[in-house]
């Protein structure tokens, strides 16, 4: 039983973790534990000081108002009634007051999952032992209720959460903040691990001890952003890849988000994660409800590696649509860095013809095929083929590509509009803007106001039109600028605070309708590279272009950081030309492939300009990737080492009978030395054979002494070692 309720105590157990809270004297919910599994159901006795300080020595005890709420570990805190920390819920009532005094009402245990309406979320895709706990709280002075849903995935050590705020009164209330997840901890002995970045340098790992006060990160860009995906970890100071307590938290959301960790006066941290409340305000008339995005969390007592593997498995199995669970996706070539805007039908067919001979399975036609798009200044919104490049439209192109033995994929940026477009001429008012203000322009384009249903329907129609016009099996959905002047004339003045979130809901609705109508379509998401790399998007598209930076060395940081929270199979990762277009760096073809293999592998260069020898290498690479698809995409992932001299990572099958190990030397020295990489994925009892050399190793040797790689003169060498049980 995943959920145990006894004497007002709630205990949520997964295979290795326990999450616990209970109802206190005045009806508050006190959080008691999240971490490694414990057997006690009632944990109140463990916290005498916290309990006394918060609940008993209250001058206002008789009235039930608790002034020291600010020190109490709570499940879901309300603003304005004595908790002076950052709180999960801020409600403005019709009289202008802001208060939410949340007391326990009721609970229900539901078998299976409960999903937030109209939002991406985890599913029950073949999962066993899944139960949901619904807890209802009520504001003591009004008819505002909060339903909290905890779904416990016992086998994968993950708990999902979301909340509904319901106004059962007769007058409107305004939800100004509603976190998806709150977690109150008891001491500050943790590091905050976040993944910060910018365009072309997404998700670089940063680790720092918690300090007094508030730390965290936000997005105000209308998307989850290059700066911070809504994912982070908290870990014990001593935690490593293989040992120590580590929490991982995800928000299943693609818009403005906020993560706060406030270390309060008694060193007690509070974690909040949810929609960013800046610019947010959701009006609830009587009988209406607001549903927060879903968040999910895991805990591992065995370090970052196990924490990541929990999340990888969970995302692959429960966030990806069942259609893509464990399914092999095509190895692709994208023409963006191969041609940019300089292409036509014949060039793409020539590319596909060569690609087919090299084992590539899909050609993705990128930007420039529509309207009269010569560069990035025009035509967004006009989703009709550009006559100059595709004189007979998409159909003969798709046929040409299919005849070369490849699937055909197409790029669109459906949320955008160029000033130089027929769409803009017809509907200049469809742009996101605030009347009386200038419109900010980004990459020469504006954002369509998807909050307006008419605009949304146009976008749906445009996408359907394109996808119906030819045999298109893959859509690269791009989004290349952020939201500014967020306002919609379709909303009343007191509902403008809903515009950011309604925009995201519209994107989700469009994606949902596209997938429903074209169930076999594979969508790759993209936002100037990895600017919307989040589990909200992964619900619709099981792969996301990780970064516009395709340089193998830069990718080591980006893919390393991304791997903490996201499965390898979600990361678009291509071999591109040298000198690299973003960094100017030259790396070998083998190095580029050895880095790009750890993702949804593909190519993004003009293979017709390569030497025969290079093309032979590609043939061998595509064969290698196909042969090892399963272990890379569905196997267990391990980070072995990352330092100034080398980086090493790898994969193992769940039964540990097979391992694929990668090693990149970053710099060499005059003397040379040996680098030992301890393969903690090895099974002690197994004798492994290096497929290439035939040499055999015992698992405990590889695990405890390590596999030796040479650090030699010269820079940047990459190796891949493949082991199979003898
Ligand atoms: C963005 C994407 C690229 C490419 C270009 C096309 O930058 O991240 O991969 O599609 O747009 O304009």
For residue 106, the cross-strand partners are 136
CA distance 144 to 78: 12
pLDDT at 1: 76
Q: What is the pLDDT of residues 295-305, one digit of tens each?
A: 999 999 999 99
Residue nearest to atom 6 of ligand 1 (CA): 367
pTM recorded for the entire structure: 0.97
Residue nearest to atom 5 of ligand 1 (CA): 367
For residue 412, the cross-strand partners are 477
pLDDT band at 406 (very low <50, low <70, confident <90, very high): very high
13 a catalytic residue:
no
Q: What is the pLDDT of residues 581-609, one digit of tens each?
A: 999 999 999 999 999 999 999 999 999 99
What are the structure tokens assigned to 503, written together?
């925009």
Report percent pLDDT > 90 for the chain. Answer: 92
**56: pLDDT strictly greater than 60:** no
CB atoms inside a 10 Å sphere around CB 626: 14
Ligand 1 binding site (Cβ under 6 Å of any ligand atom): 336, 366-367, 376, 411, 478, 480, 526, 528-529, 545, 548
pLDDT at 471: 98
pLDDT at 5: 98
pLDDT at 181: 98
Average pLDDT over residues 423-428: 98
| Pairing mode of beta strands 571-576, 543-545 | parallel
Which region among 17-31, 38-52, 234-248 has the lowest average model confidence (pLDDT)?
Answer: 38-52
Q: Could you tell which of 479, 480, 529, 572 is best to mutate to test the pocket of ligand 1, judged by most ligand atoms within 8 Å of the CB?
A: 480
CA 555 – ligand 1 centroid, Å:
17
Atom of ligand 1 nearest to the CA of 548: 8
The torsion angles phi and psi of 307, rounded to 5 degrees, stand at -60, -45
Nearby residues of 360 by Cβ (< 8 Å), 6 or more positions away: 331, 332, 333, 406, 602, 603, 618, 622
CA distance 255 to 277: 11
Q: Cα separations (Å) of 396 from 284, 359, 624?
A: 51, 22, 32
CA distance 593 to 579: 15
CA distance 510 to 528: 20
The distance from CA 369 to its chain's CA centroid, rounded to whole angstroms, is 29
Average pLDDT over residues 235-261: 98
| Pairing mode of beta strands 362-365, 269-275 | unpaired
Q: Could you tell which of 340, 341, 528, 602 is best to mutate to test the pocket of ligand 1, judged by most ligand atoms within 8 Å of the CB?
A: 528
Q: If 0-12 CB within 10 Å is exposed, 13-18 middle and 19+ buried, where does residue 406 land?
A: buried
**668: pLDDT strictly greater than 90:** no
CB 538 within 8 A of CB 524: no
Collapsed DSSP state (helix, strand, coil) of residue 395: helix
CB 282 within 8 A of CB 265: no
Average pLDDT over residues 271-288: 98
CA distance 40 to 20: 9
Tell me which of 184, 302, 382, 478 is the catalytic residue: 478
Tell me which of 101, 277, 302, 548 is the catalytic residue: 548
Average pLDDT over residues 487-516: 98
- H or E segment to which residue 617 belongs: helix 612-627
**62: pLDDT strictly greater than 90:** no
Say which residue the tokens 């049980």 belong to: 725
pLDDT band at 523 (very low <50, low <70, confident <90, very high): very high
548 a catalytic residue:
yes
CB 38 within 8 A of CB 31: no
Average pLDDT, the chain: 95
What are the structure tokens assigned to 570, written together?
């979600």
What are the structure tokens assigned to 481, written together?
């600028």
**64: pLDDT strictly greater than 70:** no
CB 627 within 8 A of CB 660: no
CB 351 within 8 A of CB 337: no
What are the structure tokens assigned to 553, written together?
């060395």
CA 441 – ligand 1 centroid, Å:
17
**65: pLDDT strictly greater than 80:** no
**469: pLDDT strictly greater than 90:** yes
CA distance 314 to 155: 10
């Amino acid at each position: 039983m995943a959920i145990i309720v006894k004497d007002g105590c709630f205990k949520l157990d997964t295979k290795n973790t326990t999450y616990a809270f209970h109802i206190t004297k005045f009806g508050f919910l006190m959080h008691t534990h999240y971490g490694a599994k414990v057997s006690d159901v009632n944990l109140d006795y463990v916290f005498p000081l916290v309990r006394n300080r918060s609940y008993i020595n209250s001058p206002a005890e008789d009235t039930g108002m608790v002034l020291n709420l600010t020190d109490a570990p709570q499940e879901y805190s309300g603003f304005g009634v004595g908790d002076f920390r950052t709180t999960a819920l801020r409600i403005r009532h019709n009289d202008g007051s802001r208060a939410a005094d949340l007391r326990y009402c009721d609970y229900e245990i539901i078998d299976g999952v409960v999903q937030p309406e109209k939002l991406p979320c985890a599913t029950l895709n073949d999962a066993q032992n899944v139960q949901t706990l619904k807890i209802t709280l009520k504001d003591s002075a009004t008819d505002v209720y909060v339903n909290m849903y905890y779904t416990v995935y016992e086998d994968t050590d993950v708990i999902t959460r979301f909340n509904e705020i319901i106004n059962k009164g007769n007058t409107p209330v305004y939800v100004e903040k509603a976190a998806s997840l709150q977690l109150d901890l008891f001491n500050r002995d943790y590091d905050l691990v976040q993944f910060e970045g910018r365009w072309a340098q997404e998700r670089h790992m940063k680790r720092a001890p918690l300090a007094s006060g508030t730390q965290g990160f936000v997005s105000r860009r209308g998307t989850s952003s290059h700066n911070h995906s809504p994912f982070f970890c908290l870990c014990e100071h001593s935690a490593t890849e293989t040992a120590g307590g580590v929490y991982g938290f995800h928000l299943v959301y693609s818009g403005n988000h906020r993560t706060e960790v406030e270390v309060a006066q008694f060193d007690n941290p509070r974690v909040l994660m949810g929609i960013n409340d800046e610019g947010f305000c959701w009006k609830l008339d009587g009988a209406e409800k607001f549903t927060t995005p879903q968040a999910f969390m895991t805990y591992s007592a065995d370090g970052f590696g196990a924490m990541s593997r929990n999340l990888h498995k969970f995302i692959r199995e429960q966030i990806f649509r069942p259609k893509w669970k464990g399914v092999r996706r095509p190895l692709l070539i994208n023409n963006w860095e191969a041609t940019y805007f300089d292409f036509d039908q014949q060039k793409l067919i020539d590319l596909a013809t060569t690609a087919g001979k090299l084992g590539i399975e899909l050609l993705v036609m990128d930007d420039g095929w529509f309207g009269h798009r010569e560069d990035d200044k025009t035509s967004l919104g006009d989703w009709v083929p550009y006559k100059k490049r595709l004189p007979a439209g998409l159909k003969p192109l798709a046929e040409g590509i299919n005849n070369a033995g490849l699937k055909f994929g197409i790029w669109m940026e459906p949320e955008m509009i160029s000033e130089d477009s027929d769409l803009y001429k017809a509907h200049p008012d469809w742009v996101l803007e605030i009347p009386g203000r200038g419109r900010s322009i980004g990459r020469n384009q504006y954002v369509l106001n998807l909050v307006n249903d008419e605009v949304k329907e146009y976008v749906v129609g445009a996408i359907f039109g394109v996808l119906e016009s030819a045999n298109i099996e893959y859509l690269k959905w791009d989004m290349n600028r952020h939201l500014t002047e967020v306002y919609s004339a379709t909303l009343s003045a007191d509902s403008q605070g809903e515009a950011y979130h309604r925009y995201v809901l519209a994107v989700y609705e469009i994606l949902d309708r596209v997938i429903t109508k074209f169930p076999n379509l594979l969508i790759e998401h993209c936002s100037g590279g990895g600017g919307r790399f989040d589990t909200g998007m992964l619900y619709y598209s099981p792969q996301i272009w990780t970064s516009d930076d395709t340089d193998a060395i830069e990718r080591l940081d980006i893919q390393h950081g991304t791997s903490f929270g996201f499965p390898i199979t979600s990361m678009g990762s291509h071999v591109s030309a040298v000198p690299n277009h973003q960094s100017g760096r030259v790396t070998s073809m083998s190095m580029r492939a050895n880095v790009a293999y750890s993702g949804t592998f593909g190519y993004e260069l003009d293979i017709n300009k390569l030497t025969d020898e290079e093309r032979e290498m590609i043939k061998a690479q595509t064969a290698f990737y196909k042969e090892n698809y399963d272990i890379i995409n569905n196997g267990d992932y391990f980070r072995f080492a990352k330092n100034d001299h080398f980086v090493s990572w790898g994969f193992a099958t769940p039964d540990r009978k097979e391992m694929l190990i990668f090693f990149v030397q970053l710099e060499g020295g005059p003397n040379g030395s040996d680098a030992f990489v301890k393969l903690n994925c090895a099974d002690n009892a197994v004798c492994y054979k290096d497929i290439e050399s035939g040499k055999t190793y015992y698992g405990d040797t590889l695990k405890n002494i390590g596999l030796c790689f040479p650090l030699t003169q010269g820079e940047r060498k990459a190796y891949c070692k493949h082991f199979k049980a003898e």
